Amino acid sequence: MEKSIKEIISLTKRKGFVYPSSLIYGGFSSSYDFGPRGVLLKKNLKEEWWNEMTRNRDDVFGLDASIIMNPKTWEASGHLSKGFADKLSECKKCHKRFKDLENDQKCPECKGELTPPREFNLMMKTFIGPVEDDAAVTYLRAETCQGIFVNFKNVMNSMRADLPFGIAQIGKSFRNEITPGNFIFRMREFEQMEMQWFCKKEDADNFFEFWLDKRLKWYEGLGIDMKKLRKVEVGEEERAHYAKRQVDIEYLFPFGWGEIEGIHNRGDWDLKTHSDHSGEDFSIEGEFPWVIETSVGVERSLLAFLVDSYTRLDDGRDESSDRKETVLKIDRRLAPTKVAVFPLLKNKKELVDKAKEVFSEIKKEFDAVYDETGSIGKRYRRQDEVGTPFCITIDFDTIEDNTVTVRERDTMNQMRVEIENLGKKIKEFMNNGDFVS
């Protein structure tokens, strides 16, 4: 059976991954809040990206630039001109705006007359200071990388870096999208994980292939079904205004293929335009470095991982017949909680005390939860639904021999582990993937 986005939205709301924003006031179009499990999943996803793109490399440096920048940045980058605008027609009667309408069409809502299409810029405007005049206008950043470009020289000098090297950043971006939608796929406020790789012009094509391959392997390594991932070479007409070459990485969502990441050859566009506009010379030995960019949305990739791991018995991915529930078969590194601890019975003090003792130890090392309500089977199902890879049960044998049962989410295999080795064992299971003693 096909996974429906409705089921996934329902699970994420019920289980504290994603809530519609300001729901008590009727919600707010395309704004979402991340609940207790969502925030952990997001943190883990960002950590995996950060490890891959920065921490495990000695040629990529981290940055956290500000969201509100000098508006001259956006003049220089081209975001305030045509390159970053949608063409919209406005209904003269109901004043709603529409994208991609055919000539002579009437308003799809009220059949009123439409204005000819006009440019509508996607930058989110705001004012700095108390006076809301033109001089105070500024913008929330529409892509994190402009903070990277303006800091190119700062980072290069303070880290004594030579070409080629990269700068990586995770942070919020804002776009006044005309048609947000598809849950957290297209929003007006979202997070990006971007890496700008600065290199010599003659090396740019090779590095493009290198980073594209690396990014695809990252998804594969985190367990994405590669049949649901594809790369799309974007033609000149559709490319962003700065891109000399663009390959989109798309995932097959229940609502169709959707871009989750873009790999761009930005040429020397950014460093050159910022040099021209600011007077700061970003060239090296008379040449501007070229930039290969990898740019992924946190929420979009998170949605891809959620959809991909959402498994039901009747969707054909789970062969075990005694399983009737939903299992979030998400990579252990991404799972919001790694361990759940249960006493077999909640009315046996010695079991509860021991379980709480085990819980307080294990949560020092892993995100963990404690649950004592309902049958053990029910408690397993509760954890399966939110992707917890390991459940630990404290039973009467535990009191005798200080061992517990550890049960693994996907195989449902169980094994006895000594309490004193529990942390070490879970770490091993987390790292090497195999659930063997």
User: Cα-Cα-Cα-Cα dihedral of 85, 109, 91, 181, to 10°?
Assistant: -20
| Interface with ligand GAP in residues 296-335 (CB under 6 A) | 296-297, 299-300
Minimal distance in Å, beta carbon 297 to ligand GAP?
3
Q: Give the span between the Cα atoms of 55 and 44, in whole angstroms.
A: 14
Q: What are phi and psi of 331, to 5 degrees?
A: -50, 140
Site membership for ligand GAP, residue 190 (CB under 6 A): yes
User: 350: which strand partners?
Assistant: none
Nearer Cβ to ligand GAP (143/384): 143
Site membership for ligand GAP, residue 274 (CB under 6 A): no
Site membership for ligand GAP, residue 177 (CB under 6 A): yes
Contact call for residues 302 and 42 (beta carbons, < 8 A): yes
Question: Which range binds ligand GAP by CB under 6 A, 19-27, 61-69, 154-162, 187-195?
Answer: 187-195
Q: What number of CA atoms fall less than 13 Å from residue 340's CA on the CB side?
A: 24
Minimal distance in Å, beta carbon 193 to ligand GAP?
9
Nearer Cβ to ligand GAP (249/394): 249
Minimal distance in Å, beta carbon 84 to ligand GAP?
9
Across 327-361, b (16+ Cβ under 10 Å) vs e yields bbbbbbbbbbbbbbbbbbbeebeebbebbeebbee
Site membership for ligand GAP, residue 271 (CB under 6 A): no
Nearer Cβ to ligand GAP (155/404): 155
Q: Which SS3 state, helix, strand or coil, does residue 127 take?
A: strand
Based on its alpha-carbon atoms, the radius of gyration of the chain, rounded to whole angstroms, reads: 25
Site membership for ligand GAP, residue 86 (CB under 6 A): no
Binds ligand GAP by CB under 6 A, chosen from 15, 186, 407, 409: 186
User: Cα-Cα-Cα-Cα dihedral of 145, 261, 22, 328, to 10°?
Assistant: -140
Please list, in sequence order, all residues whose beta carbon lies within 8 angstroms of the beta carbon of residue 248, skipping any fewer than 6 positions away. Answer: 231, 232, 234, 259, 261, 262, 263
Site membership for ligand GAP, residue 268 (CB under 6 A): no
Binds ligand GAP by CB under 6 A, chosen from 194, 268, 371, 384: 194
Binds ligand GAP by CB under 6 A, chosen from 42, 141, 175, 409: 175
Site membership for ligand GAP, residue 250 (CB under 6 A): no
Nearer Cβ to ligand GAP (145/168): 145
- Give how many residues touch ligand GAP by CB under 6 A: 19
Residues 107-146, mask of contacts with ligand GAP (x by CB under 6 A): ------------------------------------x-x-
Angle between helices 298-309 and 5-14 (to 10 degrees): 100
Selection from 107, 130, 221, 203 nearest residue 164 by Cα: 203
Sheet holding 403-408, edge to edge: 368-370, 339-343, 390-394, 403-408, 414-418
Site membership for ligand GAP, residue 225 (CB under 6 A): no
Q: Which one-letter amino acid corresponds to residue 218?
A: W
Binds ligand GAP by CB under 6 A, chosen from 12, 192, 326, 398: 192
Site membership for ligand GAP, residue 147 (CB under 6 A): no
Closest residue by beta carbon to ligand GAP:
297
Please list, in sequence order, all residues whose beta carbon lies within 8 angstroms of the beta carbon of residue 348, skipping any fewer than 6 positions away. Answer: none
Residues that bind ligand GAP (CB under 6 A): 143, 145, 175, 177, 186-187, 190, 192, 194, 259-262, 293, 295-297, 299-300
